[in-house]
Structure 1
């Protein structure tokens, strides 16, 4: 199973168009907020499952602030990150991940792409597909899950 993870699209149509070319072999798409409504544009040409959470810039109440997903026995906690102060530190979101017994924690908000492994849990911020921090490249993340194996979790730069 392959999961694509995006965040902080901020309703930028050109960034959504850019992401579409990376979804051909993806089973699930997760949007970590701030542009959650952009998933409607992605769903049109995508045959997999789509999940989103609400970010601090999303006005729609259609999406939850947090969600827990389970794929192939891997528990994934998804939030935007603004409620966990991720622009300054990762302690709060790490402990929330431990509290819900997540294997993977996905978040956005800071527009800074990162993957970090701490105490058998992976934290991933896929960065922003529209407005990357400090002139960095636009990025997105992927999670490849195979039952009985460690997840393969990585980031790519969008071109």
Structure 2
């Protein structure tokens, strides 16, 4: 299973369109918030199954703050990250992932890509397609679940 991962798109639909041309084909998309309406855009424009969450800029969104998604025998915690104060470290986020027995946690908020394993948990932030930080360009992610493993990569537009 191949999964496109976006976050912090902030309504910049033309960057989503560019990323979709690069990431396809995928089986589904994860959107880690800011702006959750962009997840709706991907679903409608590209006819993909999309799992999204609300971020700190998603006032009035109907999307949940986090989701635990089971795919191909793996549990992925999807959240924006602001409720876990990810700009100050990943301890709270990692504790939540461990509480849920998640194999991976996908988040955003910092606009900085992260692709790290802590023990047996993948900590994955695709960065931002709209407003990159940390000296990177516009980035998104790809997760591939196969052979009972999750492979992860960050891609730059």
Distance across 1 between alignment mates of 2:144 and 2:13: 27
Q: Normalization by structure 2: what TM-score?
A: 0.95
Distance 1:41 1:61 in 2: 14
User: Does residue 34 in structure 1 map to residue 34 in structure 2?
Assistant: yes
Residue of structure 1 equivalent to 2:91: 91
1:149 matched to 2:148: yes
* Contact 1:76-1:105 within 8 A present in 2 as well: yes
Q: Is the 8 A contact 2:29 2:49 kept in 1?
A: yes
1:54 counterpart residue number: 54
The list of structure 1 runs, each at least 4 consecutive aligned residues, that deviate by more than 3 angstroms after superposition, is none
For residues 3-18 of structure 1, what are the structure 2 equivalents within 5 Å?
3-18=3-18
- In the TM superposition, what whole-angstrom CA distance separates every residue of 1:30-88 from its partner, at most 9, and x where no partner exists? 10001110122212342331110000001233100000000000000000000011111
Distance 1:16 1:62 in 2: 21
How many aligned residue pairs are there? Answer: 157
Structure 1 unaligned regions, length at least 5? none
| TM-score normalised by the chain length of structure 1 | 0.93
> What RMSD, in angstroms, separates the aligned Cα atoms of the two structures?
1.2
Unmatched tracts of structure 2, length 5 or more? none
2:108 partner SS: coil
| Worse overlay, 8-17 or 49-58 | 8-17
**3-state DSSP of counterpart to 1:60:** coil
Distance in 1 between residues matched to 2:30 and 2:22, nearest whole Å: 13
